[in-house]
Structures are given as C-alpha cells and as structure tokens.
Amino acid sequence: MGEIVPEEFDNNFHERVFFEYLSDAYSQFFAGKDDFAESERQLEQQFDNRNAERLADIERLQEENDQLIKELTQLNYDAVSSPSSMI
C-alpha cells in the first residue's frame, strides 16, 4: 500500500486502515473469493504496529517525565538548602 500522507500526519488512521481493508475485501469478494483471513491479518497487524508505536511513545514520555521530576526535585532541594544563593 503506497501512502501519500505519512502516517504520523494522518489524523484519521483508524478510518483509513478500515477503509483500505473494506476496499480490499470488496475486491476479493468480486473476484470470487470468500476467505478474507489474509486481509484480516493485515488489518490486525496494522493496528498492532500502531499500538506498539504508541506504547513506545508512552514509555519514552514516562521516562522523560521521571527525569524532569528528578531535576525539579533537585532544584527545589538546592533552593531550600542554600537560600542565600537566591539573592
């Protein structure tokens, strides 16, 4: 499937993927096929890939957030420990 719009800019991912699935299944049906297992597997794989990307994004953001919390905690500690440096 050649994508014209990169996936990261595609706000309608779910609709686009499902439309592609339906279009493929429709074509197969009119070609006399009645087994859509491969199309279903591809659909499932696309969603699995997208979910894996989002889980990786969440993990990366959580790690970044944890690091920022540590930095903020250290800055607050430093500010309380040496109030004269604030002047």
Residue in this structure with the two tokens 């049906």, named with its chain if needed: 29
- The answer to the question of residue 6 being in a domain is no
* 3-state secondary structure (DSSP) of residue 11: coil
pLDDT digits (tens, 9 = 90+) for 4-63: 545 555 678 888 899 899 999 999 999 999 999 999 999 999 999 999 999 999 999 999
- The answer to the question of residue 3 being in a domain is no
What single DSSP character describes residue 2? -
| Paired tokens of 77 | 């500690």
Tell how far CA 76 is from the center of its chain.
34
What letter represents residue 47's amino acid? F
User: Model pTM?
Assistant: 0.65
Tell how far CA 79 is from the center of its chain.
38
Long-range contacts of 77-80 (CB under 8 A, 24+ apart): none
- The answer to the question of residue 85 being in a domain is no
- The answer to the question of residue 29 being in a domain is yes
- The answer to the question of residue 35 being in a domain is yes
- The answer to the question of residue 4 being in a domain is no
Q: How many domains does the chain have?
A: 1
